[in-house]
Structure 1
Amino acid sequence: MLASEFQPAASANLLSAALDRVSEAILFLDAEGRVHHANQAAVALLRRDLKDLIGADLDRLGLPAEQLRAMTKSEAEAPADAPHAAEAGDAGREMMLRHADGSRCRVRAIVRDLPSDHAPMHSLLLLRDVTSDVEMRERNALLTSVADRSNRAVIVTDHELKILYTNAAFCSIFGYSSAEVLGRQVETLLVGPCTDPATVERLKQCVEDDRGVEDDLMIYDKAGCEIWTTAHVKAHRNQRGKVKYLVGLLSDIRETKQLRSLQQLIMSSLASDIAIATIADQLCRRVEELAPDVVCSILHVDSGGRIHPLGGPSLPADYSSGLDGVAIGPDVGSCGTAAYLCEPVLARDIDSDPRWQPYKAGPLGAGLRACWSTPIQGKDGRVIGTFAFYFRECRGPSPWHEQIVAACVQLGALAIERQEVRSTISQVAYHDMLTGLPNRARIPSMIAEAINACPEGSHLAIAFLDADNFKDVNDTLGHAAGDEFLVAFANRLRAQIRPGDMLGRLGGDEFVIVLQNRDALEASLAAARITAALAMPLTIGKRQVPMSASMGLSLYPDNATDIETLIKQADGAMYKAKRAGRATYRFFSADIDKLAEERLMHSTALREAIASEALTLNYQPQICTRNGAIHGVEALARWHDPVLGEVSPSKFIPLAEECGLIEQIGVWSIKQACQQMASWRRAGLDIPCISVNLSPINFQNVNLAAVVAQILAANDLPAKMLMLEITEGVILNERATVIATMSELRNMGVGLSLDDFGTGYSSLSRLAQLPIHELKIDRSFMRDFENDQGTRAIVTAVVRVGQSLDVKVVAEGVETEPQRRLLAELGCDAMQGFLFARPMAAAAFSRWLLDYSAHRASLMLRQVGRALAQAAGVSEVSEGERLSPAAIAAAS
């Protein structure tokens, strides 16, 4: 054989052998698209014998022939010089290969036309199985989709901390696109001036130690704004244990952990009754931890529109103190202006801002260049404070700052409103609501303060005053006139005392004055001046009312050194002045023992009155606000002595307490009231319950509940028909016996009512712990109730307290229709007062109740009649027209 004949055959064999070693499937096609030759990889991929492949059409082999022909045509039609034509063709096209057994796989096909000198082979088809590649690609796409749906930022780096991957949440939180971060160092991208280096090092060390770690870290976004995150970092190592990748999960905790911890801190402090200054300090310090580039400040705005620093631990002390008392206005820095305008105010440059010119020296001296202040509003919309951020550079707040302030403004409002409520409660607890003077609860500490301030060798005088003939004013002109009298009396006393002196109201018509640095002569001159000032008559309405006072004085330290004794001595001297003809004053002296004898005489007379049942009970109705029905009736003790005349309960009740007679009066009152109640029930009068006043001393008797049970049983009365009224002094009594007695009575079903609420011993912290059924608003609250917003706000608060404690609220001293209407609007449960009836004897009350019930029934019938008349088309029903029972039933 010639070499020229051997070479083509040998070349063909070599080429076939070479093609069989190629991993990709190769098929040579003729012009009709039939297989002319195939390598072993094609045999394996197409799952056919070589003899079956030769001459086979592509459709028979499970390949999409139309797609392949289209690929060939598009390549043939493409200009030879088209840019990137070769590259596009090299990429091939993915398509589905269907095997004879029904299975399928994904292949990438590339078609190439062969030169014409290769005839009969027309084109070359290369196939590569890409099933695993497609699955991997789809799996990666799924993982990317899942990562992009997470609200946690995902970041993957190599061992040198160069970023390889970030998800959509990362781009959203930090403001970068994926292209901007790929290949960049994490630290140069995210770490900023306030990022804690120790936390960063701790994260790195935990990664080196192959420990997953989670820590809070402040990092920065593309705009340079601070973002608090919780960073969880985990290392992925190769088979040799070397770190290959680092995966970090970053959670934005600005609105979760950090702000929630801030809220929990402040709410815990509020619940613990911590002082507002301490709470404000805690709030500012915690905020400055969350935002290290700010200095925080909280101001209180009082009802007069003046600001008072509450918190600002990082501000200069002299600057903060200089703000105290400054009035808000349109040009008062950032805080004063924000409070005035009721909107946030930003001063980007304090030095040049015109609103800051009178005040800028303080912050500029401390290196503070900008200030952003937000008003704090109460529930009623009133601005009650401001929350401010000071910056060390000329700038405005970041979104993170705005979120902090949004949370802190609410916390500040809670703290300030709580403080205002506490101040109101303190005002109620320690100040007389009628005159605004310190009350019985405050006077002892007031005297103690005066004694502590008294220089060595100096004196002070305690003056005890009792208004003469005050009962006559009350009984003749009514309680409103009596209140007006007491207010005018207090104002005259205020006008006569000098700075440093103290004035208080013990209750009723009794007042105390502390005259500082006065010896006997100076105290005498002051007493004479006060007596003269009170001598001028007072005009109430169109009537002139005489005004005077009996005054007793005791001297510290000449007469006594303890407060209780000083008050008692002054009280005794006051009775001496009354016996001297009133409208005068007397000093305590040794002959005060005679006064004690007289008081003994009074106590003897009271004892005899109790023994002979000379005391009587008067009855005053209580009316349901909702429907006008009888809520109950209060039994009021009265004493008329043949010699002493009509003695006010405000006189003989304290005397009975001093003389140890109060328990007898209490038990007698319960017996009389229950007997009367039983009598009314037998007469068919429907009265839900009867209230009896008791002294706190009664509740110190461990047998009180048993005595009450015996009286109820003797009169065949259910326990719920008896209500025992407790004076507020019981709140101060911490004896276990008192609380146990009250609880025993309540368990029996006997009602307990807190009487004269707010007159001297109010304590809301103790109120919630008492087993009471009813809360009575003292009649002193009714003065100016119709017009005074402050009084109305306090009455509203008392009603809301009753509602929150689920106890009935009864208002005393209701004398006008507007008062009744306002109390009804507030939801007060019941009312009593001269508007409905004065206290009266039992027989008179029976007649009143029958008349009242008949009047109510008549009104109801007329209302039904009018309704039926309207329904029947009758324009009017005559006053005397009567409706049949059937008609009334139909109307019902």
Structure 2
Amino acid sequence: MSLDREWRFAYVNQTMERLLKRSRTDLDGRGIWECYPDLIGSAYYRTFHEAAASGASRTCTAYYVPLACWFEARAFPDANGLTVLFRDVSRERQQSAQLEYHADHDYLTGLANRRRCTQVLARAVAQAAEQAAQAQVAVLPAGMQAQAPQAAGVVVLFVDLDRFKEVNDAFGHAVGDTLLCKVAERFRALLAPSAFVARVGGDEFVFILRDARPGQAERFAGTILAGVSQPFQVDGHTLLLGASVGIAQWPEAGDTADTLLNHADAAMYAAKAAGRFQFRVFHLDLAQGLRQRLQLRADLHAAMADDQLVLHFQPQWSLPDGRLAGAEALLRWQHPTRGLLPPAAFLDVLLESPLEPAVGLWVMRAVCRQIAAWRRGGLTVPRISLNLSARQLVMPGLAGLLADLAREHEVPCGLLDVEVTEDTLMTDLDSAAAALDELRHCGISASLDDFGSGYSSLAYLTRLPVVTLKIDRSFVAVLGSAPEALAVIRGVIALARSLGMRTLAEGVETHVQQRLLAEEGCDAAQGYLLGRPMPAADFAVVMGQSVVARGD
């Protein structure tokens, strides 16, 4: 639509008639504030006036109550007034809100997830520290000082279900999923206003008690154990479970959210080692696990020097036509005493180590070297993805470095893809976006890993030169058992299409998941059903036996 300098409607097209539910003849020549007095003072009102006053375009997105819609308005000043482009973004906002909600919640049980748990715990610790500081010293009228009563603390209880794996093995994952939902129901029933519960892993839960008094944590752990011990009825089966509980109390066991969670986890493993179905409170002797982490950090130096690092490759398959669409390069550590270690066993240690940049460079070089070897062997190689940490992504000259390595090994840049997580991007969004743009100019594509498990915001997604959205495995895991998961995946696929991106589902482990993803139009998938991570020689066999989608 167009507005003249007196804020009168000068032109209204058919789309605007439809959006505003008003005819062109009803609006032509009339003032916009006369026709829509409720807009005065609104975001649209301010945007239009700012555009007119500044001579520069302005954009706003706001909810218009009378029409129950979200509209994006772009105002462009010209010699005659303003030209305004309106777009109904209600569906996009709804999808974004749904993704944001599920970023904080577990799809299967509806409980808060690990991300939300960490946020709640960090806030509880900060509040407890502030209260403790305020109550530390009471000043008496005569100038004397006396210690104030000890402030209530924050308690973390880390719960791991005993014998849950046996249920999955004996009755299948569908029964196991139903059982987890029933456990979650019982845990919800235990909550007081000052308590919080989250599902942070497959059969792992975390309770947070705020304003906890001495002895309350141990009593609550006993309540958890008693609740879990009662039989569960699932699909005609009577199932018995137990639990092991680890307790970490602020400030004795740590003064940060991450430290409390780690120490509660260590205490839980101590409870399991002591015979299960009991609880343990963290103390310094349980820090042995932390010492093992320090040993791993020291061992990393030998891993680099003695060539103990290796790459495995997990195939990615096109769902519409079954072609080999690519592979993800995954780091493994052939430890001399602990055997082949997956990233979960050492990644946290690596990311905290000064060796991280060196290991990252090794991975980039090793991927290029391996692609070159396959090509010399006459194989058609699909696009190979490699994972980058936050520090690696914003490393100065990353694009040039990776492009130089590709040229050194005579590898087309189109065969390379970098994977980054949402958390990695949000560390420094501007720098991350710039780095990905430089990679794109070099011909290297980018994938957004674990999409939906973090921020899932349209605001940042539209700023990034990303080719592929990788649907997080937590969504895929409950396909077929949680109807809302399918709705969310459908929304992610629609969002990706609207932005010109492709989708790839992670963690596909059943034929049902594969079928549902294909029916919804997901472009590609990877997971144990389709191929486990494998050595380079085994992946060469897969390439030789498959129709390969060329990446270059």
Q: Same fold (TM over 0.5)?
A: yes
- In the aligned structure 1, how far is the partner of 2:361 from the partner of 2:277? 37
Partner amino acid, structure 2, of 1:800? A
Q: Normalised by the size of structure 1, how large is the TM-score?
A: 0.47
**C-alpha offsets along residues 188-225 of structure 1, whole Å, 9 cap, x if unaligned?**
xxxxxxxxxxxxxxxxxxxxxxxxx9999xxxxxxxxx
- In the aligned structure 2, how far is the partner of 1:526 from the partner of 1:560? 20
Out of 196, 209, 229, the residue aligned to residue 515 of structure 1 is 209
Q: 1:603 to 1:561 in 2, by over 3 A?
A: closer
Q: 1:498 to 1:654 in 2, by over 3 A?
A: same
- In the aligned structure 1, how far is the partner of 2:237 from the partner of 2:298? 38
Out of 695, 703, 725, the residue aligned to residue 419 of structure 2 is 725
- In the aligned structure 1, how far is the partner of 2:494 from the partner of 2:220? 45
Within 5 Å, which residues of 2 pair with 1:122-141? none
Q: Does 1:437 align with 2:108?
A: no
Q: Work out whether residues 622 and 634 of structure 1, in 8 Å CA contact, stay in contact via their aligned partners in 2.
A: yes
Within 5 Å, which residues of 2 pair with 1:194-343? 253=27, 257-258=31-32, 261=36, 268=44, 272-274=60-62, 279-280=64-65, 283=66
- In the aligned structure 1, how far is the partner of 2:337 from the partner of 2:232? 30
State the partner residue of 1:774.
468
Q: Work out whether residues 500 and 516 of structure 1, in 8 Å CA contact, stay in contact via their aligned partners in 2.
A: yes
Structure 2: gaps spanning 5 or more residues: 1-5, 10-24, 48-58, 71-85, 136-150
Q: Does 1:458 align with 2:152?
A: yes
- In the aligned structure 2, how far is the partner of 1:651 from the partner of 1:472? 24
Report deviation, 1:791. 1.9
State the partner residue of 1:602.
296
State the partner residue of 1:696.
390
Q: Work out whether residues 731 and 767 of structure 1, in 8 Å CA contact, stay in contact via their aligned partners in 2.
A: no
Within 5 Å, which residues of 2 pair with 1:653-732? 653-732=347-426
- In the aligned structure 2, how far is the partner of 1:546 from the partner of 1:637? 38
- In the aligned structure 2, how far is the partner of 1:590 from the partner of 1:659? 24
Q: Does 1:740 align with 2:434?
A: yes
Report deviation, 1:726. 0.9
Report deviation, 1:804. 1.8
Out of 418, 426, 431, the residue aligned to residue 100 of structure 2 is 426
Q: 1:851 to 1:696 in 2, by over 3 A?
A: same
Q: Work out whether residues 167 and 176 of structure 2, in 8 Å CA contact, stay in contact via their aligned partners in 1.
A: yes
- In the aligned structure 1, how far is the partner of 2:508 from the partner of 2:452? 16
State the partner residue of 1:447.
121
- In the aligned structure 2, how far is the partner of 1:787 from the partner of 1:684? 44
Partner amino acid, structure 1, of 2:439? L
Q: 1:519 to 1:787 in 2, by over 3 A?
A: closer
**C-alpha offsets along residues 697-746 of structure 1, whole Å, 9 cap, x if unaligned?**
32232243343233322321111101111122123212654333332222
Q: 1:595 to 1:845 in 2, by over 3 A?
A: closer
Q: Work out whether residues 468 and 583 of structure 1, in 8 Å CA contact, stay in contact via their aligned partners in 2.
A: yes
Q: 1:605 to 1:507 in 2, by over 3 A?
A: farther
Q: Does 1:586 align with 2:374?
A: no
Report which of the two structures shows the higher radius of gyration computed on alpha carbons.
1
Within 5 Å, which residues of 2 pair with 1:470-485? none
Q: 1:804 to 1:418 in 2, by over 3 A?
A: closer
State the partner residue of 1:406.
none
Q: Does 1:633 align with 2:307?
A: no
State the partner residue of 1:812.
506
Q: Work out whether residues 108 and 478 of structure 2, in 8 Å CA contact, stay in contact via their aligned partners in 1.
A: no
* Secondary structure at the counterpart of residue 504 of structure 2: strand
- In the aligned structure 2, how far is the partner of 1:481 from the partner of 1:661? 44
* Secondary structure at the counterpart of residue 602 of structure 1: helix
* Secondary structure at the counterpart of residue 442 of structure 1: helix
Q: Work out whether residues 231 and 241 of structure 2, in 8 Å CA contact, stay in contact via their aligned partners in 1.
A: yes
Report deviation, 1:689. 0.8
Partner amino acid, structure 2, of 1:796? R
- In the aligned structure 2, how far is the partner of 1:482 from the partner of 1:615? 36
- In the aligned structure 2, how far is the partner of 1:619 from the partner of 1:473? 31
- In the aligned structure 2, how far is the partner of 1:761 from the partner of 1:480? 29
Partner amino acid, structure 2, of 1:806? G
- Greater CA deviation, 754-763 or 542-551? 542-551
Q: 1:444 to 1:541 in 2, by over 3 A?
A: same
* Secondary structure at the counterpart of residue 312 of structure 2: strand
* Secondary structure at the counterpart of residue 346 of structure 2: helix
Q: Work out whether residues 157 and 206 of structure 2, in 8 Å CA contact, stay in contact via their aligned partners in 1.
A: yes
Q: Does 1:764 align with 2:540?
A: no
State the partner residue of 2:495.
801
- In the aligned structure 1, how far is the partner of 2:449 from the partner of 2:230? 35
- In the aligned structure 2, how far is the partner of 1:542 from the partner of 1:684? 56
**C-alpha offsets along residues 667-700 of structure 1, whole Å, 9 cap, x if unaligned?**
3333333222222222222222111122223223
Q: 1:686 to 1:267 in 2, by over 3 A?
A: farther
* Secondary structure at the counterpart of residue 627 of structure 1: coil
Report deviation, 1:600. 0.9
Say what the alpha-carbon RMSD is for the aligned residues: 4.5
- In the aligned structure 1, how far is the partner of 2:350 from the partner of 2:287? 19
Report deviation, 1:536. 8.0
Report deviation, 1:775. 0.8
Within 5 Å, which residues of 2 pair with 1:396-407? none
Report deviation, 1:754. 0.7
State the partner residue of 1:847.
541
Identity percentage over the alignment? 35
**C-alpha offsets along residues 805-848 of structure 1, whole Å, 9 cap, x if unaligned?**
21221112233444334333433221222342222222222333
* Secondary structure at the counterpart of residue 219 of structure 2: helix
Partner amino acid, structure 1, of 2:260? L
- Greater CA deviation, 814-823 or 758-767? 814-823
The alignment covers a number of residue pairs equal to 480
- In the aligned structure 1, how far is the partner of 2:170 from the partner of 2:361? 31
Out of 304, 307, 310, the residue aligned to residue 613 of structure 1 is 307
- In the aligned structure 1, how far is the partner of 2:239 from the partner of 2:329? 30
Q: 1:851 to 1:532 in 2, by over 3 A?
A: farther
Structure 1: gaps spanning 5 or more residues: 1-212, 217-250, 284-297, 299-375, 379-410, 857-892
